[in-house]
Structure 1
Amino acid sequence: MTLRFYYDLLSQPSRALYIFLKMNKIPFEDCKVNLSQGEHMTDEYAKINPFQKVPAIIDGNFQLTESVAILRYLSREKSVPDFWYPKESKAQAKVDEYLEWQHINTRLSCAMYFQTKWLQPILTGKPPKEERVAFFKKQMIDTLDNVENIWLKDKLYLTGEKISVADLLGTCEIEQTRMAGYDPCEGRPALHAWMERVKKEAHPFYEEAHSRLYRIAQKHKGEPPVSLSKL
């Protein structure tokens, strides 16, 4: 039975999972969930994911939420190269190290900056509070500097010399800041080279997953539109 994939490409982990599925030629039923139209908040979608977030999958009669859990599951259950989530204990532990770190670092800091500066003003119709934007920007900068100086020190990818699920999650989170008008690569040559490396390896699916984000970033120059329906 075909995997059913529930996602929206404006969601960072949705993009990571989309790229992973496409790169590994894992067939799936395309179940788009339009976040801007509130489709994730319906009673129908709550049966798929009671937390009413994306992504989610149904594989046969097995339902699963949370992007990290989904990527680990697919790496075990589907025919994918071992480098994505290695079976060898120490190599797997290095990937897990980033996956655990990212929850309150890359994911939290980049998402909170994006939400505070860009998304919340759209939802509330009120300008962002500058002190909150500055607070989350500092956290994000500290996190991105850690990616530059610690995670990418002497390595091509976050957890070693080959791409892994960690790199897809990491780049997709960092790309989100562009919609809020931030250039994460400025002043960070190692991070920039790594993102370009992942983009090249994941071509053309990386560009496909991010095409709408890039259009929004280019059109609005970091300024939030009047409403989500204008995206």
Structure 2
Amino acid sequence: MSLKLYFDLMSQPSRALYILLKKINYQFEPKYVDLRKAEHYSEEFTKINRIQRVPVIDHNGFILTESVAIYNYLSREGIIPDSLFPKESKQRARVEEFLEWHHIGLRLHCAMFFRVVYMDPILFNRKNTPDKVATYEGRMETSLEDFDTKWLGRGHDYVAGDSITVADLVAACELEQPRMAGYDPKKKYSNIATWYEKVRDHFNPYYDEAHVILNKVVAKQAKTAAKL
């Protein structure tokens, strides 16, 4: 195949790219990199991506890292349809505007909450203090409030306007991550809840396919919490 995708579905940007390629019916060779086994630090994978992160694509020998760069490249190559990543300058700028904000505005705080509340106790075998959890939850909720009101609460159906784009997929996959730490943004933010269902429906069945493992983790955590 001409496109290889190196990914792990526990990675938010990996899930988004996997779902996108499935949705547009673009054939690719899946190359699973198990983050839980630290395969991204292996010598073999480091030769592919010196930064040791997923996702990565290999398109006819051209290796590219960083998901936003990958989206832009696949769009220029005519692989992503204009409907999901517009080529028209102003429409595309709106998508890129969100993707630029997303890294620090949304991803940072959702990912850090997930890491502190879910991953650190597993990795370091220690419990978090309530104050520490509250600090990271507060930072995340500030970013969620911005997303709910300043991106979704502007009279448009989607992040970049009235049409669904890769920006929506990227954001939706990000908001799945804190669910594994017991926090579901849809339960507190009404704009997010309405928007999320539309994004999920648009990208299904692949959206649910990519989140099977994550949803199993969420269910297991909820079961454990109910026993406490």
Q: Shorter-chain TM-score: what band? A: over 0.9
Counterpart check, 1:150 vs 2:150: yes
Going from structure 1 to structure 2, the CA distance change for 1:54 and 1:79 (only over 3 Å counts) comes to closer
SS of the residue aligned with 1:127? coil
Counterpart check, 1:97 vs 2:112: no
Q: Which moved more, 1:103-112 or 1:183-192?
A: 183-192
Instruction: Report the counterpart of residue 17 of structure 2 in structure 1.
Output: 17
SS of the residue aligned with 1:78? coil
Alpha-carbon RMSD = 1.5
Instruction: Report the counterpart of residue 126 of structure 2 in structure 1.
Output: 126
Instruction: Report the counterpart of residue 172 of structure 1 in structure 2.
Output: 173
Mapped partners of 2:35, 2:129: distance in 1: 24
Instruction: Report the counterpart of residue 58 of structure 2 in structure 1.
Output: 58
Structure 1 contact 12–176 (Cα < 8 Å) conserved: yes
Instruction: Report the counterpart of residue 196 of structure 1 in structure 2.
Output: 197
Instruction: Report the counterpart of residue 109 of structure 2 in structure 1.
Output: 109
> Among the aligned pairs, what percent are the same residue?
45
Mapped partners of 1:159, 1:136: distance in 2: 27
Going from structure 1 to structure 2, the CA distance change for 1:103 and 1:222 (only over 3 Å counts) comes to farther
Instruction: Report the counterpart of residue 135 of structure 2 in structure 1.
Output: 135
Structure 2 gaps, min length 5: none
Structure 1 contact 181–223 (Cα < 8 Å) conserved: no
Counterpart check, 1:163 vs 2:164: yes
User: Matches of residues 63-102 of structure 1 in structure 2 within 5 Å?
Assistant: 63-102=63-102
Q: How many pairs does the alignment contain?
A: 224
Going from structure 1 to structure 2, the CA distance change for 1:159 and 1:150 (only over 3 Å counts) comes to same
Give how far 1:222 is off.
8.7
Mapped partners of 1:80, 1:185: distance in 2: 28
TM-score, L = length of structure 1: 0.93
2:119 maps to amino acid: L
TM-score, L = length of structure 2: 0.94
Structure 1 contact 118–222 (Cα < 8 Å) conserved: no
Going from structure 1 to structure 2, the CA distance change for 1:222 and 1:104 (only over 3 Å counts) comes to farther
